[in-house]
Structure 1
Amino acid sequence: MIATTTTTALHVEGVVKTFGRTRAVDGVSLTEAQGVIGLLGPNGAGKTTLLRMLATVLAPDAGDLRVLGLDPARADERVEIRRRLGYLPQNPGLYPGFTPFDLVDYVAILKEHTDPTWRRDETRRVLEAVGLEDVMHRKIRTLSGGMKQRVALAAAMLGSPELLVLDEPATGLDPEQRLQLRSLLSASRTVVMSTHNISEVAALCQRVYVVFHGAVHFSGSPADLAGLAAERVWEDDQQDPRAIRSWLTATGTFRHLGDPPAGAAVVDPTLDDGYLLLARRQPGR
């Protein structure tokens, strides 16, 4: 096994990935040691491509990439990275004729776990952790979409990996399962996850990177992202046409984003407000 003394889970410097004429990832840099890190951005922003590079599925065209202190461009170090990370892709390919138990046990074999007793116990542990103990011996083809997502999540969590790379992990989960997912991820050492759900970032992440057009346009804490809209959010009984965005809240008042008029009832910004303001600064918005 290759030894490493670094505590940096992810080091990405100027990474680029191009498909034809499309630059999906355009000079992304980030360095993180541990915690839950969120990638936030619209469809097509490059989040999935970046995660695939972190999971060693794709190689960058340019830039420097280190995962768990190792270089995925080197074959031996790439194998070692894969032993030590768990990956949930956006569209996990599950064998429909397998049971959840069979599938997770198979992933354990691929990760070179040769002790059948350990594999059996660990497979049961992760399936129970995601709430699939009652269906672990049913065929995957008979399961709901949310159950299939949890099978893939259990496979990613196998062996308590040092790094979890998760692409939209809450897809298909009901509210109770989303809360359970938060509990599972908060106990993990290092997680990098993409999401469209701003509430998941607020609840889970210590750091957030906002990605537009393949590039990082913000990095910081969720509170820092909300702070971008400080003094720029107000509420009123009437909709204000001067606002750049406005919407009716559950309490029946209108929430506005922009430059508040004199005397406006300015309120504390949320993560949604900061993200919307940042999105408005992008070309074409």
Structure 2
Amino acid sequence: MSAAITTSRLVKKYRTTRAVDGVTLSAAPGVVGLLGPNGAGKTTLMRMIATVVAPDAGSMRLLELDPADPRERVEIRRRIGYLPQAPALYAGFTPFDLVDYVAVLKEHTDRSWRRRETRRVLELVGLQDQMHMKIRILSDGMKQRVALATALIGTPELLVLDEPATGLDLQQRLHLGSLLAQSPTVIFATHNIAEMAALCQHVYVMVAGRIRFSGRPAELTELAVGQVWEDDRQDSNTIRSWPTSAGTYRHLGRPPANAQMVEPSLDDGYLLLVSQAQQQ
């Protein structure tokens, strides 16, 4: 099956800073995670994939269409759902009004269909009892679910989600996972490692504008094999060290002789990769 997203050497610059620096990736059907520290360039890359901003260099195909072609870009926008990192919601609207308005912007002209679809997506995100309340009085988590509902209009073939679980409690995060599993292709950006591990079949790690890792979560964990140990004392000659709940110190890096080695976690693999990339 063809990849829903393919990019080749994408570049986006802001003055002298390369926010995205030669990114090549591919997203096949399933859930793909884009992981990285704050400032890694994840949001800029997601905005390009959502066709909000154009790259300065490189090429991209979305749903086998070229977003550089204006006619094909319009067709792409009809077939994707996008949740930005900081969605702008009209506080005076109700969730029902806002979702219906976004459906109009996506050129759904059948009013009866829009009303049914608006109810459907609001029920999907658990807002059936709040759909006619003003957005200004909703909690942050409810507002995030309103924004998610707008991304789900029309059952998009591709979901582009930037930090989708922001403001959601544990139960809502689990429900989000169920929603994403039902979508044909999802790419979502996060800096939450546990969230990525729970939802993704494939993960990219982005540091300083570049893709530094591509693979399964288990493969990211394996990067730290033989480089994690615990001791009663903190060793300053490590890449990272931190106290544990057991009162020991966990260390990441080149172990000393006779170190008490432990099995690495996904956090260890990620921290090792990011630390090494930032030192280059």
**Same fold per superposition (TM over 0.5):** yes
1:107 aligns with 2:102: yes
Amino acid at match of 2:100: D
TM-superposed deviation, 1:237: 3.4
Distance in 2 of aligned mates of 1:28 and 1:54? 12
1:12 aligns with 2:7: yes
Distance in 1 of aligned mates of 2:14 and 2:238? 38
- Pick the aligned partner of 2:80 from 59, 79, 85: 85
The answer to whether the Cα contact below 8 Å between 2:241 and 2:252 also exists between their aligned partners in 1 is yes
Distance in 1 of aligned mates of 2:62 and 2:115? 29
| Equivalent residues in 2 for 1:159-170, closer than 5 Å | 159-170=154-165
| Equivalent residues in 2 for 1:59-78, closer than 5 Å | 59-78=54-73
Distance in 2 of aligned mates of 1:99 and 1:230? 51
Question: Equivalent residue of 2:53, what SS?
Answer: coil
Distance in 2 of aligned mates of 1:222 and 1:83? 32
TM-superposed deviation, 1:259: 1.9
TM-superposed deviation, 1:14: 0.6
TM-superposed deviation, 1:235: 2.2
Q: What corresponds to 1:236 in structure 2? A: 231
Distance in 2 of aligned mates of 1:13 and 1:241? 40
Distance in 1 of aligned mates of 2:92 and 2:216? 43
- 1:81-136: CA deviation from partner (whole Å, max 9, x where unpaired): 00100000111111111100111111111112222232222211111111111111
For structure 1, the residue ranges without an aligned partner over 5 or more in a row are 1-5
- Pick the aligned partner of 1:273 from 239, 257, 268: 268
TM-score under structure 2 normalisation?
0.95
1:136 aligns with 2:131: yes
Distance in 2 of aligned mates of 1:283 and 1:243? 15
Distance in 1 of aligned mates of 2:122 and 2:184? 19
Distance in 1 of aligned mates of 2:93 and 2:173? 25
- Pick the aligned partner of 2:196 from 183, 201, 205: 201
Question: Equivalent residue of 1:79, what SS?
Answer: helix
Distance in 2 of aligned mates of 1:120 and 1:238? 63
- 1:54-78: CA deviation from partner (whole Å, max 9, x where unpaired): 0011111111110111001111100
1:120 aligns with 2:115: yes
TM-superposed deviation, 1:153: 0.4
Question: Equivalent residue of 2:24, what SS?
Answer: strand
| Equivalent residues in 2 for 1:30-41, closer than 5 Å | 30-41=25-36
TM-superposed deviation, 1:284: 4.8
Q: What corresponds to 1:157 in structure 2? A: 152
TM-superposed deviation, 1:24: 1.0
Question: Equivalent residue of 1:65, what SS?
Answer: strand
What is the aligned residue count? 280
Question: Equivalent residue of 1:13, what SS?
Answer: strand
- Pick the aligned partner of 1:55 from 26, 35, 50: 50
Distance in 2 of aligned mates of 1:160 and 1:243? 48
Amino acid at match of 2:37: P
After superposition, the CA RMSD in angstroms is 1.5
TM-superposed deviation, 1:8: 1.6
TM-superposed deviation, 1:243: 3.1
- 1:27-84: CA deviation from partner (whole Å, max 9, x where unpaired): 1001122111111112221111111110011111111110111001111100110010
